[in-house]
Structure formats: C-alpha cells, structure tokens
Structure 1
Amino acid sequence: MTAAEGFAPAKINLTLHVTGQREDGMHLLDSLVMFADVGDHLTVTLSDTPQLTVSGPMAKGVPDGSDNLVLRAADLMGASADITLDKVLPHAAGLGGGSSDAAATLRVLSRLTDTPIPSDVSALGADVPVCLGNGAARMRGIGEQVTAARDLPCLHAVLIHPGVPMRTPDVFAAVGQKNNTPMPSEIPENLSAIDFIDWLRGMRNDLEYAAISQTPVISQVLGALTVTAGCRMARMTGSGSSCFGLYTGEETARAAEGRLKEENPGWWITATRLNAQP
C-alpha cells in the first residue's frame, strides 16, 4: 500500500475573546488564529487492521487508543488505516496539537480514498474546523464559524511550553467574566508585520488570567519572553500553558530562542514563523 504524509502545524490563538456562554455551558469565542511552520507529522497507509503508533520527542503521555483524535478522525472518514504520528508538539499545551493531528488525518485520508471530508467535523472538537483550513482565520461561535483572514503578514515568533499541561474545561471554569467585547468587525489587512503586531497588542486572550491563577509559571514565561530583545508582545495561546512572543524579524526571534533555551533548559522552546507562505 502507498503511504501518504501529512503535516499538523501548531495552532496559535493570536487573540481569544470570550464573548458569552450558551445554556448548554459551551463558551462563545472570537479568535484570530494563525498556524506555525512547526508541528507534528503523520504517515498514513490504508490497512485492513487499524493501528496508531505514536513516536517522537513529545510522544510521552499521548493516548494511542481509540480516544486519540487521529483514530477518531479515521473513523469519521470510514477508513481503516495504519497511522504513525510523530509528535513534535507538546501534549495538552494550548497549541491545538490534537485537533491539528485530526485535521491532517482527515486531509490525508481524503486524498488516499478520494472521499470528501464530512461537512460536520464538530464531533472531533471545536478547533478541528479551523485546523482543517490550515491558514489564518477568524473563528467565532463555539468554533464552527470560520472565516479566512486574508492579506495578513508573516510573523516571526518564539513558542514556549513550560512543561505543565492544562485542562481546557478547568481554565474556562475559572473565567470570571464571560460576556466580553469581541474583536472589531474588520481585521486590518495589508499592514506591515510591526503595525499588525501593534494592532494585536490592543486585543486579548480572556483565558490568560484564569490560566495564570491555576498555573503561575505562565506569568514567568510571559515575563521571560517580554524582556528578550526585539519582542513586540507576548501572550498566552489557547487555554495555555504555551505562550508566544512576536518579534521584529527572524534574526531577533532566533537570538531570543537561544537565550531562552540557555536560561530555561526545562522548557520546550522553538522559534517559528506564523502565516508563512508555502
């Protein structure tokens, strides 16, 4: 059988505004998402015996049974496959790794089986629809309203995960104010990277304070990013505990990566580009 490769990039919530809560408890969001050029890798082969093998530097703690989103995505496609998942992204880190893995699985199996991806993938999680698009996007509602965000610049960033996993339901439960203002109706287009970052500084991640109250090291991570040369802003992504810093260019981001790795050897740290052109 022919094997097919898939890439599952890290999902970065540049903004995450909590704008309400439904009667069923689901939270309403308004978030601007970009994807990094670092992520997990999949190798997929159609097989009569479905199987998932998890390998790579971040494989520890990742479930390899039927509850893994990769196998659930294969089931949704009605496909039986032998899948190897090379985990590069930390688990339960706020980087959308599981959702991105599921989206990549859907894309690869769609190619292998010449079968369209189902229109409703919500059973796999709220982040899977935006991860399917694999490009800069605005996601609203509970994640089902996805609009491509065009003419945005490539951003140079440093990602940090301090090694502490977070449970998303716990973070949302700790948010005190659930009806916050959304982003402006229009996201600015055709700005330089520096001007766009300055605009982002006026936005928020409404989960940040709640996450810090549960995991104070997040505040330490944000402080470490902020004091590196060339950092224009630092913010937590998703429900944590990963954070990102945005920089004036690739050279400053790489320099910050080196310094941060020297000072914090126990953290997962990588320089990356967001919204990089293929």
Structure 2
Amino acid sequence: MANTETAYAKINLALHVRRRREDGYHELETLFAFVDAGDVLRVNPAPRDRLTTVGEFASALTDPFDNIVMRALGALPRPEGLDVTLEKNLPVAAGLGGGSADAGAIFRMVELAHGLPDEWRERAARLGADVPACVESRTCVGRGTGTQLEPADDSLAGTPVLLVNPRIPLATGPVFRAWDGEDRGPLPEGDARRIALEGRNDLEAPAISLVPEIAGVLAAMGGTEPFLARMSGSGATCFALYETTSARDEAARRIGSDHPDWWQLKGKLR
C-alpha cells in the first residue's frame, strides 16, 4: 500500500446554482479542478483504524471520531486496519473540499492495496457531494448535487494557480441559504478553459454578504494580472490562474507582503 498520498485541493473553476431542490439540496453545474498540493496522509497497517491529525489546521478538526477520514475508512471493506496521520495543510470550511479531498485520498490508497467495491461512487457520495470528484482528482464537470460526473479535457493542466484565504472559516450551509434563488443559466459549452473564463460562481455574492473580506481578496488578486480570479466553492478561498509561473510567484510575493495575515498556497492545476 502506498503509505503517503496527497489530498489535492479542490477548486470550482465555475459554479452555477440552478435551483433549490425539495430535499433541501441545490441543483448545481460545476467545473471541478484540482491543485497539485494539499493535505498529506501517511498510513501504516494496524490492527484497527486510527487517526492522528497534525499540521497548521489540525486544531480545527475537533472530533476525530466524526472526521470524514474515519468515515471513509468505515465505508471501505478491508482485511486490515489503517493507522492514518493527516497533515492538515488546507484551511477548514474554506471552499477547497479539504475534508472531501482527505476522503478521496483514503479511497485511492485503499484502491491501490485492495481495490474498491463496484459501487464505490455511491459510497463516496454518501460521505459528501464533492467526494466522488475528489477520489479521481481530475478536471471534470459535476451536475446534480455535484456527484454526477462527466469527464472534461485537460486544456488547463499545468496552469500556475495561487490560492488565498483571509483565514475566516465560512460554512457552506449559510452561503447556500443566502443565495437569491435566481437561475442565471447553465455552464458554457466548450473546453475547460472556455467554461472557466465564461462561467461564474453564483455563491460569490452571498458569500461576500457574509464575509465582506472576500471582496478584498478578489480585488488584491485581480490586481496581479491573472487571466482569471474567482472564489472557489462556497468560499472564502479565492484562486487566480496565471499564464506563467513567474507571474504567479510575483503575485504571491506582492499579496504576501501586503497581507501577511492571509493564508496562501502556490501550485499548478493537475
């Protein structure tokens, strides 16, 4: 079994909210993409499943028994337990699918060692709407609640990306509740780059109404000449895409100098 796996940060290059459903969820159309960095999970065989959390954001995970990593382990049949150390590098409640990415990494490690059950997608979806996409961690379109996946092209693979978060947690539920209910139309057609550039994030305005600092993050990122800057998921993390690594690195330097209290992560799209 691979004993180290990265839980790749998820970003929504576009996120269109189409309607509220009677079950309380929302009908979505989104373009998922993944950054080549994130949390890190290290595992060893053990008599029973065990989780230890370390890293900058470990203290935000208050209940280890309800952690999505433990629930992912419980969802997958195996002949042995796993002792997991989760290095929590991604902020929590940040629009990056951090917990879903952690669960996705567990699915990949179990798949490598033992294979996955045929209905693994259903098992993943029960853990969270982003988890099936995070298992594969490739650019794709998600529909429904985000669990109905369609492949997307790799036209943005290798694109330099900068993630910035004002270090303010923002739970998903209140953001969806603040959405105005207006259907602004479907995802654009075309390759991933076109969908990203012509798409939007319908949760950006409601998130800014709850955490006005997000607007400041977007303004700061927009001033560094990316070809796209947008909020990810339900926020408060924002991303910017650049044509060159040097442009991204200069943007990270400027934003870090102007806002040393903000969290940031540099990477490339997978």
Q: Where on the TM-score scale, by shorter chain, does this alignment land: which range?
A: over 0.9
Q: Does 1:128 align with 2:131?
A: yes
2:260 maps to amino acid: P
Alpha-carbon distance change, 201 to 119 in structure 1, aligned in 2, over 3 angstroms: closer
**Residue 20 (structure 1) aligns with:** 19
TM-score normalised over the length of structure 2: 0.93
Q: Separation in 1 of the partners of 2:113 and 2:154?
A: 32
Query: Higher mean Cα deviation, 40-49 or 91-100?
Result: 40-49
Counterparts of residues 110-189 of structure 1 (less than 5 Å): 110-116=111-117, 118-120=120-122, 121-154=124-157, 155-184=159-188, 186-188=189-191
Instruction: Report deviation, 1:59.
Output: 1.4
- What SS does the corresponding residue of 1:107 show, helix, strand or coil? helix
Q: Separation in 1 of the partners of 2:26 and 2:115?
A: 35
In the alignment, which of 245, 263, 267 is matched to residue 262 of structure 2? 267
Residues 4 and 112, structure 1, Cα contact 8 Å, conserved in 2: no
- What SS does the corresponding residue of 1:218 show, helix, strand or coil? helix
In the TM superposition, what whole-angstrom CA distance separates every residue of 1:220-243 from its partner, at most 9, and x where no partner exists?
A: 000000111x32221100000000
- What SS does the corresponding residue of 1:211 show, helix, strand or coil? helix
TM-score normalised over the length of structure 1: 0.90
In the TM superposition, what whole-angstrom CA distance separates every residue of 1:169-218 from its partner, at most 9, and x where no partner exists?
A: 1000000124331113x3226xxxxxx36x63321100000000000000
Aligned length: 265
Residues 156 and 272, structure 1, Cα contact 8 Å, conserved in 2: yes
- What SS does the corresponding residue of 1:262 show, helix, strand or coil? helix
**Residue 226 (structure 1) aligns with:** 222
**Residue 231 (structure 2) aligns with:** 236
Over aligned residue pairs, what C-alpha RMSD do you find?
Answer: 1.7
- What SS does the corresponding residue of 1:42 show, helix, strand or coil? strand
Residues 230 and 240, structure 2, Cα contact 8 Å, conserved in 1: yes
**Residue 202 (structure 2) aligns with:** 206
**Residue 192 (structure 1) aligns with:** none
- Select the structure that is richer in helix: 2
Residues 8 and 39, structure 1, Cα contact 8 Å, conserved in 2: yes
**Residue 86 (structure 1) aligns with:** 87
Q: Separation in 2 of the partners of 1:221 and 1:148?
A: 31
Q: Separation in 1 of the partners of 2:44 and 2:64?
A: 18
Instruction: Report deviation, 1:25.
Output: 1.2
- Name the % identity: 40
**Residue 248 (structure 1) aligns with:** 243
Instruction: Report deviation, 1:46.
Output: 2.5
**Residue 258 (structure 1) aligns with:** 253
Residues 21 and 179, structure 1, Cα contact 8 Å, conserved in 2: no
1:172 maps to amino acid: F
Structure 1 unmatched runs, 5+: 190-195
Residues 20 and 181, structure 2, Cα contact 8 Å, conserved in 1: no
Q: Separation in 2 of the partners of 1:114 and 1:270?
A: 32
Structure 2 unmatched runs, 5+: none
Residues 54 and 64, structure 1, Cα contact 8 Å, conserved in 2: no
